[in-house]
Amino acid sequence: MNRLIKSGLMFGNLVHVSSPALVERYNRALKHLTGKTTQLTDFYIDFSGFSPEIGFELDDTLYLNHAGVNRQFILLTTNQKTAPLLEAKFSTSRGILRQFIEENEDALFALTARDAVAGELVNSVYDMSSPARLFDIRRITIEADTTGGAIRQAQKLDTKVAQFLNDQDAWFDDVLISQMITLAGETGDVVRNPIKLKEMSFDQRNYWTDHFGGIYLFQDVDHPALITGGDKAILNDLPIDHVFDLSERNRIARFLELNDLAEPIVKARGVDAGAILRQKMDFILVDALAGQGVPIEGRSRTDMRRLAREHAGKLPKEFHALAALVNWAENGGPWPRITSEHPAYFYTLRAAAHKDADLINMLLSQLTSKDIRQLFICHKPLFYELYQHWPDEKKDYVVEFLRNEYQIDKVGARKALFGREAPMEDMVARVGPWGAVRK
């Protein structure tokens, strides 16, 4: 994994904690949340305040996420919102934390100037003893305060200020005035500079979880289903009618179609479908040739085409099907019949425009794991797991590609792959296995 770390593709953009003051604040928050402290004087933290170094020190990578539920967090700075979220057990956690920071940024900036903010993503589930427990997770509420209780104290001061203003005899209440002065010394002027965090709750109905081998649960759709990347046999007696594993391609394709969750890339508006499909072909080509004694690192597009011609007999069905689709889209070639049973089918899709697009792209990346770019963007835990078993030639190619082709313009790459642009006036309705073809 050293290639990834050195290239900033793993543990990249973490926040460095090195000053004694910040380390001391972190330890107060850690003690407050877990009863533990660190002896380290220099470490890095992710979005939630989790540190891989402290996880190693404590021999507990879930020290802020006990049992993988109700994730806790420590905020030393609002800059943590640009860091990755490590050891994520639910796909919704980062989005919830990011929205919490953005909605409360001014208050959090003021609070973290003096103390750490510690909190928790709270739901009613405290263990994952069985898959049925996933259905008890319905709403996530954020609870947070500084380790010194600044928000709690500010609420007390607000109450006493209101009492002082509304009670005609309050001017003569020396005890009330003394309490207000004491609290104001701890919180500052809450009248001019209110210290409040918005009460925030989030529905969690459609999500991915790392539990039980990796599960995609879709409850808030017209046709609910659960899709597992693990052992379907352990998923008995669940309160949902449809349970699939990743081998049931027809049923997954039908689920996506019935709920309008995915669209064919060649039908997507405002994208260069041919360029996207050709890049997927390169990734499939590299996967097929890596470890076969064929040099693949640093190859140009012309070189990749030559390799494809020379080794056509070694290339899988996915490559040839995508080549035929590119030929149809760009050169008016014959329509390739690519049904959901075909191994290339899910390579031809991306999420449609809806609130769960990221979740669908995550599912599609697991179904098309040879597409290393989409896998890295949408499903990093699986990317890191699979990376360990790739031949060195593929590892070198992947690191070089992601460093030179993706990292230099992450926003542009994601927009090109998944973003939505204004409709093109000359857009042709295309269908085939994706609908009715008209050219």
Instruction: State yes or no: pLDDT of 47 exceeds 50.
Output: yes
Among the residue ranges 66-70, 214-218, 354-358, the one predicted with the least confidence is 66-70
Cα 249 from chain centre: 24
Instruction: State yes or no: pLDDT of 433 exceeds 60.
Output: no
Instruction: State yes or no: pLDDT of 285 exceeds 80.
Output: yes
Q: Mark 74-112 as b/e (b = at least 16 C-beta within 10 Å).
A: bbbbbebbebebbbbbbbbbbebbeebbeebeebbeebb
Tokens standing for residue 406: 């993706």
Q: What is the Cα–Cα distance from 122 to 143, expressed in whole angstroms?
A: 7
Torsion of CA 260, 262, 264, 268, to 10 degrees: 90
Instruction: State yes or no: pLDDT of 380 exceeds 50.
Output: yes
More confident residue, 58 or 181: 58
pLDDT at position 220: 95
pLDDT at position 190: 47
Select the highest-mean-pLDDT range: 106-115, 246-255, 289-298, 398-407: 246-255
pLDDT at position 251: 97
pLDDT at position 412: 87
Residue 415 pLDDT grade (very low, low, confident, very high; cuts 50, 70, 90): confident
More confident residue, 20 or 162: 20
Inter-residue contact 95 to 124 (CB < 8 Å): no
Q: What is the Cα–Cα distance from 17 to 80, expressed in whole angstroms?
A: 11
Judged by DSSP in three states, 160 sits in helix
Q: What is the Cα–Cα distance from 322 to 337, expressed in whole angstroms?
A: 11
| Closest residue by Cα to residue 83 from 117, 41, 48, 118 | 48
pLDDT single digits (tens) 4-39: 988 889 998 899 999 999 999 999 999 999 999 999
pLDDT at position 294: 81
Residue 157 pLDDT grade (very low, low, confident, very high; cuts 50, 70, 90): low
Percentage of residues in the chain having pLDDT higher than 90: 61
Q: What are phi and psi of 374, to 5 degrees?
A: -65, -35
pLDDT at position 369: 97
For residue 428, what is the DSSP state?
P
As a whole number, mean pLDDT of residues 145-159 equals 71
Q: What is the Cα–Cα distance from 257 to 434, expressed in whole angstroms?
A: 9
Q: What is the Cα–Cα distance from 250 to 4, expressed in whole angstroms?
A: 35
350 DSSP β-pair partners: 263
Select the highest-mean-pLDDT range: 94-98, 256-260, 303-307: 256-260
As a whole number, mean pLDDT of residues 103-125 equals 89
Residue 183 pLDDT grade (very low, low, confident, very high; cuts 50, 70, 90): low
Residue ranges of the domains in the chain? 2-146, 260-418
Q: Tokens 């857009």, residue?
A: 427
Q: What is the mean pLDDT of the chain?
A: 87
pLDDT at position 431: 35
Residue 428 pLDDT grade (very low, low, confident, very high; cuts 50, 70, 90): very low
Instruction: State yes or no: pLDDT of 366 exceeds 90.
Output: yes
| Closest residue by Cα to residue 435 from 357, 335, 362, 353 | 335
pLDDT at position 228: 97
239 DSSP β-pair partners: none
